[in-house]
Amino acid sequence: MVGNGAREHALVRALTADPAVAAVHAAPGNPGIGGAACLHDVDPMDPAAVAALAVRLGVGLVVVGPEAPLVAGVADAVRDAGVPCFGPSAAAARLEGSKAFAKEVMAAAGVPTAASRTCDEEDQVAAALVEFGAPHVVKDDGLAAGKGVVVTDDTAAALAHARACLDRPGGRVVVEEYLDGPEVSLFVLCDGRHVVPLVPAQDFKRVGDGDTGPNTGGMGAYSPLPWAPDDLVDAVVATVAQPTVDEMARRGTPFAGVLYCGLALTARGLRVVEFNARFGDPETQVVLARLASGLGGLLLAAATGRLADHPPLVWHDTAAVTVVVASAGYPGTPRTGDPVTGVEAAEAVPGVHVLQAGTAWRDDVLVSAGGRVLSVVGTGPDLAAARATAYAGVAKIGLAEAQHRTDIAAAAVQGRTSAPVF
């Protein structure tokens, strides 16, 4: 496992629960991952170092969690060293690494997405903002750790964000039409040709309750989506995932790994908001909490072009909710170094498990070491029960001036989320 977040902790937890997996190693991992896997102090951004570690350990599969190592070519280096790797090549990871490239692929594949203009100059941006009108959507073309998108009614703020992106060497922005409607994340496993969808989830990107404040990497998630249309997964596979995988193969850069389809269900139909080339965080935490069949063989099948032969996935008939506990200051500069308590007490609550992200050991004390610190997961027979369980777990956590949202999955539980009929 390459990475050190709560998503990687969720993946490691699911892999260690799979009887087909003998052992799990992580580079570099974190204190929570260290409870289940052997940790190696290897830079996840160094393709040669990751490949050398995989060869030295003789592992049967490398799983790359975050996008930055994928864009840096870690999966290519691992495969070149003869080790199967779950994660796209650098060329295929451009679906996430460049929003302009993703738009070009979607246009070629006929995939429904927001109308957009890719701009190198400020006057192109100004023209596109007029063309699409408010609310304005301005996206940094490159990777920005979830902070590259500004959605605003304020034209001056939209232009200022564009200027900041354009001022960087090689800076480009994508300006697009605003998509109105509930968002869904669907992870689709791909082996270059075939696709296997997981179950949909919804995440909460804004830092504050009621979707207020700045965007974050994600403050919580839930699955299933009781309000979503029954044919949603089939529709995403047919109109989004398979055409995209076909187009990437046609270009000679087949996509193998997980295609994260970020979607908006608008009155005019489903539209792609974004593609990512890796599992989402925190949606992975809730999706994997519901997966009953083994993860190891599934990821290996995707990595080795054998998804078509893989048996159907089995899902628990349960719901899962995760609430992220973040440091004070996040998503700005987070306060770190504070003791984190209550992880064991939270896990003593039936149906709770705690996944770690920004944590570290200081002597023998678990301390905060990043913006998103923990992802507390609750499972239950339905969404209301899973939500109550997750918050019962959060109540056990101690972290000075921590912040968490109190409304994760609340609207869905109360029947306040609905999908347009199309």
Nearest 5°: phi and psi at 213?
80, 180
Q: Which helix (H) or strand (E) holds 273?
A: strand 269-276
Do 77 and 48 meet the contact criterion of CB atoms below 8 Å apart?
Answer: yes
- What's the rounded Cα separation, in Å, for the pair 100 and 157? 21
280 makes contact, choosing from ligand AMP, ligand GLY, none, with CB < 5 to 8 Å by partner type, with ligand GLY
Closest approach, Cβ 375 to ligand GLY, in A, equals 11
151 makes contact, choosing from ligand AMP, ligand GLY, none, with CB < 5 to 8 Å by partner type, with ligand AMP
Nearby residues of 11 by Cβ (< 8 Å), 6 or more positions away = 1, 63, 65, 279, 284, 288, 295
Sign of CA dihedral 121, 122, 128, 131: negative
Q: DSSP secondary-structure letter at 313? A: P
Q: Does 183 bind ligand AMP (CB under 6 A)?
A: yes
Instruction: Report the C-alpha dihedral over residues 210, 226, 183, 101, rounded to 10 degrees.
Output: 150
The correct pick among 149, 184, 207, 258 for binding ligand AMP (CB under 6 A) is 149
Closest approach, Cβ 241 to ligand AMP, in A, equals 17
Q: Does 151 bind ligand AMP (CB under 6 A)?
A: yes
Nearer Cβ to ligand AMP (272/325): 272
The correct pick among 8, 140, 281, 338 for binding ligand GLY (CB under 6 A) is 281
Nearer Cβ to ligand AMP (43/153): 153
Q: Could you tell me how far CA 279 lies from the centroid of its own chain?
A: 4
Do 289 and 383 meet the contact criterion of CB atoms below 8 Å apart?
Answer: no
| Nearest residue to 325 via CA among 365, 366, 290 | 366
Closest approach, Cβ 274 to ligand GLY, in A, equals 8
User: What number of chain residues touch ligand AMP (CB under 6 A)?
Assistant: 14
Q: Could you tell me which stretch among 234-242, 274-282, 374-382, 402-410 binds ligand GLY (CB under 6 A)?
A: 274-282
CB burial class (10 A; 0-12, 13-18, 19+) of residue 296?
A: buried
Nearer Cβ to ligand GLY (143/392): 143
Do 182 and 419 meet the contact criterion of CB atoms below 8 Å apart?
Answer: yes
Q: Could you tell me which stretch among 46-54, 279-287, 365-373, 393-401 binds ligand GLY (CB under 6 A)?
A: 279-287
Q: Does 183 bind ligand GLY (CB under 6 A)?
A: no
Nearer Cβ to ligand GLY (146/208): 146
The correct pick among 6, 114, 219, 340 for binding ligand AMP (CB under 6 A) is 114
The correct pick among 78, 258, 273, 355 for binding ligand AMP (CB under 6 A) is 273
Nearer Cβ to ligand GLY (357/366): 357
Q: Where are the beta strands (DSSP E) in 33-182?
A: 38-39, 62-63, 85-86, 116-119, 136-140, 149-152, 173-176
- What's the rounded Cα separation, in Å, for the pair 192 and 79? 14
Question: What separation in angstroms does the CA of 390 have from each of 337, 385, 404?
Answer: 25, 9, 12
Q: Does 5 bind ligand GLY (CB under 6 A)?
A: no
Closest approach, Cβ 146 to ligand GLY, in A, equals 5
- What's the rounded Cα separation, in Å, for the pair 315 and 396? 29
The correct pick among 257, 280, 331, 393 for binding ligand GLY (CB under 6 A) is 280
The correct pick among 76, 176, 177, 203 for binding ligand GLY (CB under 6 A) is 203
Q: Does 140 bind ligand GLY (CB under 6 A)?
A: no
183 makes contact, choosing from ligand AMP, ligand GLY, none, with CB < 5 to 8 Å by partner type, with ligand AMP
Question: What separation in angstroms does the CA of 388 have from each of 25, 286, 292, 319?
Answer: 33, 15, 22, 11
For the beta carbon of residue 243, count every other beta carbon within 10 angstroms. 18
Site string for ligand GLY, 99-138 (x = CB under 6 A): ----------------------------------------
User: Half-sphere exposure of residue 411, counting CA atoms within 13 Å on the CB side?
Assistant: 15
Q: Could you tell me which stretch among 4-12, 124-132, 171-179, 367-375 binds ligand AMP (CB under 6 A)?
A: 171-179
76 makes contact, choosing from ligand AMP, ligand GLY, none, with CB < 5 to 8 Å by partner type, with none
Question: Shortest Cβ contact with ligand AMP: which residue?
Answer: 274
Do 323 and 386 meet the contact criterion of CB atoms below 8 Å apart?
Answer: no
Nearer Cβ to ligand AMP (86/275): 275
Q: Which residues bind ligand AMP (CB under 6 A)?
A: 114, 137, 139, 149, 151, 176, 178-179, 183, 205, 215, 262, 273-274
Q: Which residues bind ligand GLY (CB under 6 A)?
A: 146, 203, 218, 276, 280-281, 283
